[in-house]
Amino acid sequence: MTVSVASTSAVVPSAATEPTAPVTAATPADRDGLSVWPRSARPADDADVLVGGVSLAEAADRFGTPVYVLDESEVRERCRAYRTAFPEADVVYAAKAFLCRAMVRWVQEEGLGLDVCSAGELELAVATGFPPEKIVMHGNAKSPEDLETAVRLGVGRIVVDSTSEIGRLAAIVPMGSRRRVMVRVVPGIAAGGHTKVRTGTEDQKFGLSITDGSAQHAITRVLDQPRLELVGLHCHIGSQITAVKPYVAAVRRMIGLLARVRDHHGLELPQLNIGGGHGIAYRPGEDTLNVSVLAGRVRAELEDGCARAKLNVPRLTLEPGRAVVGPAGVVVYRVLSVKQTGSHTFVAVDGGMSDNPRPALYGVRYSPRLIGRHSVAPPALVTVVGRHCEAGDVLADEVPLPGDVRPGDLLAVPAAGAYHLSMASGYNLVGRPPVVAAANGVARTLVRRESLDDMNRRDIGL
């Protein structure tokens, strides 16, 4: 099949009343080994795979490797799925998962807001035409530039993450105006796929604790600032969460705090942000968060809890990132060497931790696939490693690949859209790969490959 490739520039508390129905959804039945790939993925001639109608092998030849291919339709469909599941809520895409100008445009066109954590993310979004009033700014340690940019551009909400931030923010708001803020609260919920991404407990850097009273103190401080308008509370309990129960528990605790704010200050806050962290499947058979179940359970808990507390139901905000873009991305590497060392076979590719640090950070495992040629060799367990000078530069440990994998082969890795290039580095001065959008059989460059010349321009001293 011929395609066009065109270039353009805590522990969750138990509750006897909780439903016992499943709260996660298993990965869909495998379709030719492509269950964790974009839904448009189809096997093609010569063991190739089409994504968005684009041949991955042809894209690798045209754009070089490594290359990240992003299925535009998958991103858009996932945005729509959230809007359908949460029609009454503000759904804001978490830019930290992956951001570029095209991503900003897709998110805007599908009716989502945007969640940013830096002046850089904010400036890119607004320069692309995204309305600042639909942007949420947060981060645990906002720089003066972050806060000044957020105030200057008029972002919709700023999430306060520390008491010291309150005075600094109020000082830069122009006299006679107010900025809407939320307070990030630590609800004491332990959830997440790895200890390093659990953000709802007391022992990490994010938010203000309910338990020690710092959240309540921050709320009082904000209310004392005439240039700040407290509009709600925010919490984010972790990342790569595949169970609904932790979110329900977090909502319950946040309602308790909303009631205490009402009782102590005589103020009903109109908004509640429960963050994101929705888990996806990286390998066949893994669970993913069921967004429809999440919506039903959170809505029920919010309505019932507010009724018991005699509160008006606040407007909900949630911040999916990985669950929007992660399954839409595929990265294609070229094999550079195959080496037998003791009982291990190492397959080295032309990328690695500079474009995907997640395995080194979190021990994440992927399911690479040989594409571009048929092999009848029986599978063998191999370790796919990167090209960098680190023993921890491992992309996939002990995974089955055809026993005759050799230099020059192409390996495609699905579920690569989130927290790969957004966390990429310049280690060993290996340029970051390009990002290519695939849609209707046409591929176009969204972000070009970083060249040695790009990196040299930053080095101005002798």
pLDDT tens readout for residues 54-78: 999 999 999 999 999 999 999 999 9
Q: Strand pairing partners for 4?
A: 442
Per-residue pLDDT averaged across 388-414, rounded? 96
Residue 30 scores a pLDDT above 70: no
Domain map of the chain by residue range?
4-8+16-69+327-455, 72-325
To the question of whether residue 458 is assigned a binding role by annotation, the answer is no
Residue 31 scores a pLDDT above 50: yes
pLDDT at residue 7 in the model: 38
Per-residue pLDDT averaged across 320-347, rounded? 96
pLDDT at residue 204 in the model: 59
3-state secondary structure 255-294: HHHHHHHHHHHCCCCCEEECCCCECCCCCCCCEEECHHHH
pLDDT at residue 237 in the model: 87
pLDDT at residue 188 in the model: 72
Residue 279 scores a pLDDT above 80: yes
To the question of whether residue 362 is assigned a binding role by annotation, the answer is yes
Residue 18 scores a pLDDT above 60: no
449: left (phi over 0), alpha (psi -120 to 50) or beta: beta
Catalytic residues: 389
Take residue 445 and report the two structure tokens written for it.
Answer: 């460059």
To the question of whether residue 277 is assigned a binding role by annotation, the answer is yes
To the question of whether residue 319 is assigned a binding role by annotation, the answer is yes
Point out the least confidently predicted range of 14-23, 206-215, 226-235, 293-302: 14-23
Q: How confident is the model at residue 85 (pLDDT cuts 50, 70, 90)?
A: very high
pLDDT at residue 363 in the model: 85
To the question of whether residue 321 is assigned a binding role by annotation, the answer is yes
CATH of 72-325, one of 3.40.50.1970, 3.90.420.10, 3.40.50.2300, 3.20.20.10: 3.20.20.10
Residue 145 scores a pLDDT above 90: yes
Q: Which residues of 243-278 are buried (b: 16+ CB within 10 A; e: fewer)?
A: bbbbbbbbbbbbbebbbebbeeeeeebebbbbbbbb
Tell me which fold the domain 4-8+16-69+327-455 belongs to: Lyase, Ornithine Decarboxylase; Chain A, domain 1 (2.40.37)
To the question of whether residue 247 is assigned a binding role by annotation, the answer is no
Distance between CA atoms of residues 349 and 356, nearest Å: 12
pLDDT at residue 17 in the model: 33
